[in-house]
Structure 1
């Protein structure tokens, strides 16, 4: 597992997969659950600020 600091400031769904050790479908389901803020760029790209994701992961409000 990579050090969290080595990930970019804006994450892709693939980064969420790597951080949590989950599959692609699970990662997309998590993002679409609206538990944390994300931005859709065009029709296919989803971006998540690393800070927002890590706060969610730690159980903090974003």
Structure 2
């Protein structure tokens, strides 16, 4: 029997801009612009940008940003 998996199971709990780039199949510059747009919650650690998985999924599914 085939196991049903969630379409987000392969994403790490905390995403990098690279993860967003790969998942959405967009360019590097576009991924950084999206991460800096305020569309979803990001955490900046020095020069690194981290995105909570839940925040990204909520944005992707059209839920409001809290």
TM-score range, shorter chain: 0.7 to 0.9
Q: State the SS of the aligned residue for 1:6.
A: coil
**By percentage of residues, which structure has more helix?**
1
In structure 1, runs of 5+ residues without a counterpart are none
TM-score, length basis structure 2: 0.83
In structure 2, runs of 5+ residues without a counterpart are 1-6
* Corresponding residue number in structure 2 for 1:30: 34
Q: Which has the larger radius of gyration?
A: 2
CA distance in 2, matches of 1:37, 1:7: 16
TM-score, length basis structure 1: 0.88
